[in-house]
Amino acid sequence: MSYLSTQEATRTCILSKRWNHLQTSFPILDFDLIYFEEKDSTTRRKERKIYNINKFLHFVDASLLRFSEAKVSIQKFRLSMEVFDVEGVASLLEKWIELAVTNEVKELDLNVQISNDRIKRLGLNVQKNKDMMCSLSGTIFSAKFVTTLKLGGFNLEQSSAYTIRFHSLKKLALEGVHIDEQLVQKFISECPLLEDLFLSLCMHCIRICIAHAPRLRILKIVSFPSNFCDGYKFLSDVESIEIVA
C-alpha cells in the first residue's frame, strides 16, 4: 500500500469491502490536484478546471474524514493545488489542518497557489499581492507531533501573534510565503529540536538574526536578489549555511 498514491489506495475499497480497513491503515495522505486534471475539448478550460478542483476538494475532504472517524494517526499529509479563489477553500483548508493535527500528523506539506490562468488574466504579481494568498489560523502552530513542516504560497505575516507549539519540529521549509521577521525568529527560538531550515523567496522578511538555536545545523536561503540583502547574523555552530541570491 505504501507504493500507491492516496487516490489509488482509496480505489482499493471498490474492489472489496474487506479492503476498507487497509485504506484507513495507509498513513500517508498525498493529495495533488494534478492527478485530477482531465482534458475535455467540449468544455471550456475554466469550467473544466473548476470541475476538477471541486472533485479534488471533495476527495480530500472525504479521505480526511474517514481517517478522523477511524482515529488513525497520520504519518504524512501533503496537499498541493492551484485555485482561482483562496477564500473558497480557506474554511476547508482549516478543517483539514485541524483533522490532521488531531490525528497526530508527523509530516505536513501544504502548497496552495493561485491559478496561473487567473494571474495572467488579472495581470497580477502574487508575490506582491499578499491578499490573494491564503492565511493560516493558529491551529497549525499547535501541531506538537509534527517533525517536518513545509509551507508554500501562504500569507503568514499575521501569524507571529500565535503561540508556537512545534515541540517535535526538526525540519522547516518555507517557499514563496509572506512572512515577517518576528515569526522567523519565533520559529528559530521556540522550536527546540529544529535542525534544518530552508527559506525560499520569502517576501517581507529582510533580516535574520539567529540568537539561540542549539540544534540548528543546516540553513539554506534562496531569495530575490533585492530582497534578502540587509544582512545576517549566524551562530558559529551551524554546520551548513547556503545563501543563493
Residues 4-44 have pLDDT tens digits of: 455 555 454 444 454 455 455 668 999 999 888 766 555 57
Q: Which of 129-133, 165-169, 184-188 has the lowest mean pLDDT?
A: 129-133
Inter-CA distances, 102 with 64, 79, 172, 193, Å: 11, 17, 20, 21
Q: Are the beta carbons of 83 and 112 closer than 8 angstroms? A: yes
User: Beta partners for 150?
Assistant: 109, 173
When comparing pLDDT for 160 and 119, which is higher? 160
- C-alpha 85/C-alpha 240 separation (Å) is 39
Task: Provide the percentage of residues in the chain whose pLDDT is more than 90.
Answer: 33
- C-alpha 207/C-alpha 232 separation (Å) is 6
Q: How confident is the model at residue 236 (pLDDT cuts 50, 70, 90)?
A: very low
How many alpha carbons fall within 13 Å on the CB side of residue 4?
13
- C-alpha 181/C-alpha 175 separation (Å) is 15
Three-class SS of residue 79? strand
Amino acid at the residue 21: H
